[in-house]
């Protein structure tokens, strides 16, 4: 089953390419099933955002807009194939959206992207900094594992509220800009969106761990932490960033076995749709100049 908003059949005709990575080999969480997320998110999008009336199918659009992009659902790939697939997509001026799986998959996607595009900045939405450097190549070391391939000074983390002591030291050492959910409330969404867009430059990659959202909105995640962002706060920020242009995105750590009525999987699908509807493509920028 494909993502509900998929409307392209070939890479050549696509603007955006969705890749599923059903793998959680880099997770240490006791709450398993993130490997089921790519297919579950696709299934829920097709069940809840496709309407059938008098034999005709129609899609539920994001907000009050349409998806005027060509979206290819590439299907699922193995974790060790991610780097090659993402590199091919980015090299062809397409935007990859990677659905995991655990957050360690992000390391392969970001490093592959930075191998094609210079000066990549990452906005990292997560409850955890994932900045452990004493252990490498797992879901808690992602930011350390990508730090040498990105522009750290332009990158930032949003939603952080459960750091380990080592992570606090690493964040200070690298002078990473970190915003907690309380900072988001204090600064205000519009001001924060402007701050992010101004800081991050042109080559922005969004990495989203669904546990950045409060469990009241997203209960089905691998490592839930109370007092997170609301679903609307996250979507507002992601749409604002995408509207300025992005080079890639991933969405990680949905755990369908711990979900409630598929609410987290459905929210994940809607986040992707909202992001796609808001993305400013390079060809649109060229056409307006």
CATH class of 11-288: alpha beta
Contact 71, 279 (CB under 8 A): no
What pLDDT does residue 16 have?
98
Give the β-pairing of 16-21 and 177-179.
Answer: unpaired
Residue 283 burial (CB count, 10 A): 10
What pLDDT does residue 66 have?
79
CA distances from 105 to 36, 51, 63, 100, 115 (A): 14, 33, 30, 7, 16
Instruction: Identify the three-state secondary structure at position 174.
Output: helix
Side-chain-side CA neighbours of residue 91 (13 Å):
9
What pLDDT does residue 282 have?
75
The position carrying tokens 């706060």 is 233
What pLDDT does residue 285 have?
54
Contact 198, 241 (CB under 8 A): no
Residue 270 DSSP symbol: H
Q: What is the pTM of this model?
A: 0.96
DSSP-H helix ranges across 147-254: 165-174, 181-187, 189-200, 231-242
Determine the Cα–Cα distance for residues 206 and 17; give it in Å rounded to an integer: 15
Residue 75 corresponds to which tokens in the numbers above? 């299907």
Contact 137, 104 (CB under 8 A): yes
Determine the Cα–Cα distance for residues 163 and 52; give it in Å rounded to an integer: 46
What pLDDT does residue 9 have?
95
Residue 1 burial (CB count, 10 A): 13
Determine the Cα–Cα distance for residues 175 and 255; give it in Å rounded to an integer: 32
First to last CA, the chain: 39
Domain locations in the chain as residue ranges: 11-288
Q: From the first residue on, what is the mean pLDDT of each consecutive set of 10 residues in the chain (289 residues)?
A: 95 97 97 98 96 90 86 98 98 98 98 98 98 97 98 97 98 96 97 94 97 98 98 97 97 98 98 96 62
């Amino acid at each position: 089953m494909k993502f509900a908003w998929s409307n392209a059949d070939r890479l050549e005709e696509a603007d955006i390419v969705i890749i599923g990575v059903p793998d959680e080999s880099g997770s240490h969480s006791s709450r398993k099933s993130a490997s089921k997320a790519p297919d579950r998110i696709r299934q829920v999008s097709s069940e809840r955002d496709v309407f059938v009336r008098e034999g005709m199918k129609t899609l539920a659009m994001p907000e009050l807009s349409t998806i005027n992009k060509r979206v290819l659902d590439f299907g699922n790939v193995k974790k060790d194939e991610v780097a090659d697939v993402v590199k091919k997509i980015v090299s062809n001026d397409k935007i990859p959206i990677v659905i995991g799986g655990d957050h360690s998959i992000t390391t392969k996607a970001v490093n592959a992207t930075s191998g094609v595009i210079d000066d990549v900045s990452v906005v990292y939405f997560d409850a955890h900094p994932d900045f452990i450097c004493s252990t490498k190549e797992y879901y808690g070391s992602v930011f350390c594992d990508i730090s040498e391939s990105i522009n750290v000074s332009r990158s930032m983390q949003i939603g952080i509220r459960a750091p380990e002591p080592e992570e606090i030291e690493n964040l200070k050492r690298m002078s990473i800009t970190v915003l907690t959910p309380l900072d988001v409330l204090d600064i205000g969404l519009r001001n924060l969106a402007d701050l992010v867009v101004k800081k991050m430059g042109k080559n922005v990659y969004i990495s989203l761990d669904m546990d950045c959202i409060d469990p009241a909105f997203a209960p089905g995640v691998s490592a839930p932490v109370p007092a997170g962002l609301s679903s609307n706060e996250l979507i507002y920020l992601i749409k604002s960033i995408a509207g300025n242009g992005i080079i890639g995105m991933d969405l990680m750590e949905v755990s369908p076995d711990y979900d409630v009525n598929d609410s987290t999987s459905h929210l994940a699908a809607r986040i992707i749709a909202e992001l796609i509807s808001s993305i400013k493509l390079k060809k649109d920028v060229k056409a307006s100049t």
